[in-house]
Amino acid sequence: MIKLLDFWAEWCGPCKFMEPIMDELEKELAGRVQIEKINVDENQEKAAVYQVMSIPTYILLKDDKEQGRIIGATSKDNILKTISKYE
């Protein structure tokens, strides 16, 4: 299964901009891609493990191995294109 890690924070403007896009993707990709939202303020350990330096950061995992990373706000199409490479 493909997993998309969404590193975000409550105070992050670009994260707020991406929230409706991520909600859409969660519905569209249900059963195909698991999206895990990770608040960096509440889960600093996980952010450190993945060396997340800025948010939002989206990390694509397949079989628990990092396959791709998108840093910053981006388009829904860009996220879908990145995911489709590994499906």
- Identify the domain containing residue 19 by its residue range: 2-84
Distance CA 34, CA 1 (A): 7
Question: What's the pLDDT at 1?
Answer: 85
Angle separating helix axes 13-28 and 76-84, nearest 10 degrees: 50
Task: List the one residue out of 79, 58, 82, 65 whose CA is nearest residue 8.
Answer: 58
Q: Which pTM value belongs to this model?
A: 0.95
Instruction: Say which of 4, 6, 8, 12 is annotated catalytic.
Output: 12
Are 6 and 79 spatial neighbours (Cβ–Cβ below 8 Å)? no
Per-block mean pLDDT, blocks of 10 residues, the chain (87 long): 96 98 96 97 97 98 96 97 92
> Is 12 an annotated catalytic residue?
yes
CATH number at 77 reads 3.40.30.10
**Domain total for the chain?**
1
Instruction: Say which of 15, 22, 55, 60 is annotated catalytic.
Output: 15
Q: What are phi and psi of 63, to 5 degrees?
A: 55, 40
> Is 15 an annotated catalytic residue?
yes
> Which residues are registered as beta bridge partners of 45?
none
